[in-house]
Amino acid sequence: MNIIVVGLSHKTAPVEIRERVAFAPTAMEKPLNELVALPAVHEGVIVSTCNRVEFYATSRDAEAAVAQLRRFMASFHGISPEELENHLYDYQGEDAIKHVFRVAASLDSMVIGEPQILGQIKTSYGYASEFKTVGLILNRFLHKAFSVAKRVRTETNIAGNAVSVSFAAVELARKIFGSIDNKTVMIIGAGEMCELAARHFVNNGVTSVMVTNRTLERAQKLADEFQGRAVPFDDFANHLAQVDIVMTSTGAPNYILGHKKVEEVIRQRKNKPMFFIDIAVPRDIDPKVNDIANIYLYDVDDLQGVVQANLKERHKEAKKAEAIIDQEIGQFYRWLGSLDVVPTIVSLRRKMEDIRQGELTKTFSNLKDLGKKERKAIEALTSAIINKVLHEPTAVLKQSQNDSSGDSYVDAVRALFALEPPQTEIDMTNSDQRSETD
C-alpha cells in the first residue's frame, strides 16, 4: 500500500491560484467522498489552508492515484488541468511520509516554527474521520505525524524566539524590565500592528493599557477590547509619566515626541526606565530620544534586525528537527511495509499448506494399507519440506520490511504464487476509527 501526497503551496503557487483551489472547511463532506470514490484511491484527507492545499491518500497503484488526484483538484474547482500543472507537486512512499512529517512540524511553513499548521492538519483529519474517509493506514500515519511534530517542539527550540515585529517588541520589553507583569503600556495609533502588539503585551503580563488615536472613537474601541483606557490624542503626552512601554505607529508626517518632552517625562518618573517602540514610517519619535539615560528606543529596522536574527536561530533548530524526522520516517515505513509483508507470508504458507493437505489426501486414498505410524511420518516429511522451501523466501520478505525493496518482493511473490491481495484495507463505513498513537 502506498501513501501519496498531491498538492500545491505558497512555494509553488501564488495566492490567486491557491484561493481558487481552496476547500471550504464547512463543506468538506462532498469533496472527501468524491476523493475516496476515485478508482485508485482508498483513503483520503484534504488539508486546505491559506498557504497550501494538499491531498493525503493511500493507493495500491500510485501512478494512477497521482494522475486521478491531479485531475480531481482541477475538475472539482472548474479549472483546466493545464492551468494547475506547473503548480502541483506529488510525493510517494518515503518521500510522502517525509513531506507530511515536515509540514506537521512546520518545517515547510512560510515562517518556520509557526504552530498553526499542526492544528490545521488535526482539523482536516477530524473532518476525514467524521466522514469516514480514513482507515487503518492514514489513521496511524497522521497520529504518527502529530507525535513527530510534538517531539520536534519538545526536543528543539524551533518555535522559540519572536519572528514577528509585534512579538519581538514583547521580547525586548522583557529583556529591559526583566518582567512585564504589572507594567503599563500606551498604544499610540490604532492600526492592525498596534492592535496585535497590544494583544501580545496583555497576553504576556501587562495589566494596564492606554490607547490614543487621532480618532477618539477608534481609540475607545481598541481600549475596550483590552479593558484599557482611551485618552485624547492632544493630551497623550501628559499621561506618559504613568507609562512604562510606549508603542507608536501614527503615520504622522513629523515627530510627535521630541527629546525635550521625553526628558521631562523621565524626570517625572524619577529615572525609572521607559521602552519606546516606534514602528511608524516616517518615524514618530525623534531618534535623539535614545540618548537620554534610562530611555530605550527601537524603530522598525531595529525590530526587523531582531526578527531576522531569531529566524536564523530557528533555521539552526530546523536542522535538529530534520534529523528527528529522518529517524521517525524509518520507523513508520517499516510498520507500513509490514502491512503487506506479514499477510503475504501468511498467505504463502496457507497456500503451501493447502497444497500439502490436498496431495496428502490423494496419496493416502491410494495407499489405504498405510498404518498410523507411516501416515504420521509422511505428514512430518511433507511439512518439513514445505518449511525448508519457504524458509529463505520468508526470511527475504521479513528483511525487505526494512528497505525500499519490500513492495517489489511482495508483488513478485504474489504474482508467482497467484496469491490474493493482502487484506490491509478495512471497511471504513463500519470500522472503529480509533488508532494507536505512537
Residue with cell 528527528: 324
DSSP state of 240: G
Count of residues in the chain: 438
HSE-up of 35 (CA within 13 Å, CB side)?
29
DSSP string, 248-299: E----SS-SB-HHHHHHHHHHTTT--EEEEE--SS-SB-GGGGGSTTEEEEE
* Set of cell numbers at residue 19: 484561493
**From 19, 29, 37, 50, the catalytic residue:** 50
**Cα gap 94→105, rounded to integer Å:** 16
Nearest to 37 by CA among 429, 433, 431: 429
**Would you say 120 and 47 are in contact if contact means Cβ atoms under 8 Å apart?**
yes
**Cα gap 344→418, rounded to integer Å:** 11
- Secondary structure element (H or E) that encloses residue 211, with its range: strand 208-213
* Set of cell numbers at residue 298: 527601537
Residues 6+ apart with CB under 8 A from 234: none
**Cα gap 169→278, rounded to integer Å:** 10
Residues 6+ apart with CB under 8 A from 392: none
* Burial category of 390 from C-beta neighbours within 10 Å (exposed 0-12, middle 13-18, buried 19 and up): middle
Helix axes 93-104, 300-366, angle to 10 degrees: 140
Residues 6+ apart with CB under 8 A from 307: 162, 163, 164, 165, 168
**Is 194 in the active site?**
no
Residues 6+ apart with CB under 8 A from 212: 186, 187, 188, 219, 230, 231, 232, 233, 235, 236
Could you give the residue numbers annotated as active site?
50
